[in-house]
Amino acid sequence: MKVRNGRWFTLCLCAGLLGVGAVAQGDPDAGTRDAFISTRRAPVKQRANAHRANARPNGVTPAGQSLGVGYTVYTMNKAGTPVRVSPNQEFHTGDALRFLVESNSDGYLYVFNRDGENPAKMIYPSPVLQAGSNRIRAHVPYQLPSAHEDAERQWFRFLSETPTREELCFVVTTEPLPGIPVGRQLVAYGETYQKASWTAPTDVWNVIQTALNRPARETNELFIGTQQKASEMVAVSREIGLAPSDPPPSKVKYNAEAANRMLVSRVELRSAGKRFPGN
């Protein structure tokens, strides 16, 4: 991805995921989604400051429960409303896109973008947001680009006019990953390198790839084509947990073994480039 104004990215990625428009009877993924939703609690009324200086997460998932992460991909419809879409659809130049990421555990979130064979760039945490913090709370939805940006900057835009593809990796851990700058160290990096994204060295990327390839169970996609609920938008803006009655993430992934306290979920998308009449 190319960066524009320090925070925009040319988003052109590839995927082969199955999209479904509603919950089907006999849904084989129902048990996995139910397990994820079952750990949600009624949201507190006041904003939960997950990024307070020196704060630590409030605990992790119950003992014996596997680490899980869910994500949803949104695009903007003609009315300017966020709508769930499948990442396997074909995107075009100018399309707007953003992600919602939710973990079932307190911990730490890292998001990396990789363009072809180029080294992976860390696009979250950011040196210009929340003092470089990446602490997260269980079932609080985190938006990428951040909901703390102004309205227009809360969307990625596909900028390339030629076909391209890339990938995003959402990394959730219950302990900070060594060798990755966060907090003051990340802020200092941004000041030194003019807000450029930190590049993951080979040893760090190998750790992430190893976690990606560990045994896990994943669901197919859900509720594609539905608009984002107002309660979800409030949860994002106020950093409060989603309620059990709120829609589940479109995609959920669980570690197969509860002992693994690092989970990586990869999203691949494809841009066909400039849109021509008739497509």
55 part of a folded domain: no
83 part of a folded domain: yes
What whole-number distance in Å separates Cα of residue 4 and Cα of residue 231?
31
The two tokens of residue 146 are 């951040």
Confidence (pLDDT) at 42: 66
41 part of a folded domain: no
pLDDT at residue 44 tops 70: no
Confidence (pLDDT) at 164: 82
Position 135 confidence tier, pLDDT thresholds 50, 70, 90: very high
Between 265 and 95, the higher pLDDT residue? 265
What whole-number distance in Å separates Cα of residue 157 and Cα of residue 75?
10
174 part of a folded domain: yes
279 part of a folded domain: no
The two tokens of residue 183 are 């907090």
User: Got the DSSP string for 178-200?
Assistant: TT---HHHHHHHHHHTTTPPEEP
Across 144-154, average pLDDT: 83
54 part of a folded domain: no
52 part of a folded domain: no
Closest listed residue to residue 257, CA positions, set 204, 211, 206: 211
Q: Is the separation of the CB atoms in 168 and 13 below 8 Å?
A: yes
Q: pTM for this structure? A: 0.84
Closest listed residue to residue 18, CA positions, set 74, 76, 89: 89
Its domain, for residue 253, covers 3-15+65-271
Confidence (pLDDT) at 137: 95
Please count the other Cβ atoms lying within 10 Å of the Cβ belonging to residue 77: 13
Across 22-40, average pLDDT: 76
The total domain count for the chain is 1
Q: What are phi and psi of 16, to 5 degrees?
A: -135, 65
Confidence (pLDDT) at 274: 85
162 part of a folded domain: yes
Q: Residue 77: CB partners within 8 Å, gap ≥ 6? A: 83, 227
Q: Residue 190: CB partners within 8 Å, gap ≥ 6? A: 126, 127, 128, 132, 196
Strand, coil or helix: what is 153?
Answer: helix
Specify the DSSP element, H or E, that contains 208. helix 202-212
**Secondary structure letter of residue 25 according to DSSP:** T
